[in-house]
Chain A
Amino acid sequence: MNQATRLLSTYTADVSGVCSALYELGGLTVMHDASGCNSTYNTHDEPRWYDRPSMVYISALKEIDAIMGADDKLIGDIVAAARQLQPRFIAIAGSPIPMLIGTDFTAVALEIENQCGIPTLGLATNGMHEYLSGISMAFTALARRFCRPAQPASGSGRPLVNILGATPLDFSVTGNIEALHEAFRQRGYEINSCWAMNSDLDQLANAGAAQVNAVISSAGLALAQWLQEQYGTPYLVGVPWGRLGAAAYFDALRQALHDGSSACFYSGLSGQGSGKQGLIIGEAVTAASLKAALLLQGGWSRIQTACPFRDYASLLGPDDIALEDEKQIRQLMEEADVIIADPIYRRFFKNGKQRQFVDWPHEAYSGRIYRRQIPVCIEEHLDLWQKGWLKEK
């Protein structure tokens, strides 16, 4: 995206992605920053504080520590806290100033681990990349450190699946992850682990036991590739949004399980026939999966997915696009009949008789502001949501 933004919001950054990814796993996560990252994460990016506490902290970096390169203070503070709190692991994530002064997170992590004996991950985020890269970095570091050799499959005989890329930043806490788990169970799968909501560290460590991996956001892709390399586990990219979308998704999952080959379930789908022109703005995998679900229903001449993250454009379909700037967003919105996007994008929407803006709030973008409106879209839930906006029109 262009660096100057006149009207829109900003997606949350890598350091929040790290914290969100690790929140439920019993670790001690430290943002190495003065204070802003902590406030942003706690206020806008993390909806779980009230229901389950976690050990997420800020290092409270000061001017003098930055100038003097006082890594010993950072290390000492983390070791002191870890001795009191006894976390399962420690993770340290960086922000702009540690990047500027060249903080060596790998060395800091090693020193902490040497001092307190707790596995420690050094994650060189810098607050200048989007949240997906932080989640991805945290998941792969965790897997490299904790995943053990594959254990024999459970006795249930049902295929085991790992869900990769689940955080409230993309799926909120409004019921999508629970509905997703239920959809897998209904289709005869057993959830081996979910990275990382509603699973603990021990379940994640046994990820190698799964027969297939379900990549539900861009943030899960690097982990899927690592698990494939380590255990030969195939993966499928996509989310089973909508009834027809879910049917296609689970067909593709069966195929992946059968062939042992990895795929993206929505990659072959494109617009057919006549109908409305749609635009979906969002994270590549969730948005492209929604596009697939809607195209399968029919009534669309074309739907284009627009992804604000150029690093993940490879997960888009051939008609889709990585966004560059506000001008381009405005132009794309003017061309579409139906726009499905976070409500903040409404600022560019011009009302028209045949045109409609459908609110699809994205926690990584608008934070908690529209959380109550975040719909559950798994399987038939999508139809219910759609009925709402069709009625609205």
Chain B
Amino acid sequence: MSSVIQSSIIKKFAMALSGLFLIVFLLQHFIINITSVFSEEIFNQFSHFMGTNFVVQFIAQPILIFGVIFHFVMGFVLDLKNRGSRNVKYVKYKGSSNASWMSRNMIISGLVVLSFLGLHFYDFWIPEMKYKYVEFLPDDPNRYYTELTHKFEDLTKVVIYVVSFGFLSLHLLHGFSSSFQSMGVNNKYSPIIKIVTTIYSIGIPFGFSFIAIFHYLNH
């Protein structure tokens, strides 16, 4: 088993899998959130379901949290190893001539997204956990929309969110299609994967930003 974890290719494979899992989660998160723009009622319904369903709460949620933690811990492990593979650095290194900024700086975009996650958890997840599992407050199926809009009244927060979504976009632009390469998929469909990556990586963070700005403007 230890040989499995030590293998560079397996590490990359695990990184790709957890990344793709998070991408799927992100899509689902987005679909629920975007309903808040159209209908308070639908948003509340979805949120209530997600917040109270046993499978979501006690099976999917721990997996998700594990996925997030695994992805960033492994990200750090790989990055440290990679940085340590060249102890004497080049005096002149022209990285931009042969690789995109995104692909070279996943650790930076990742760190921004990670800090954002901290803020995001502080904003939503921790209060939510407290509400349900610490203070055992009564179930209120209609509280979600108000809580959401309430958070986006502060301009600074909206700006932080939008900037973070920008970095998320950069992270995804490389990470999404790259995960297929790590899993061994590089064939005639790869151009399609690239297109899907671009659409997804720009579209989803843009959509999240839109939701934040929308609620800021409409509070």
A binds B: no
B residues adjacent to A (C-beta < 8 A): none
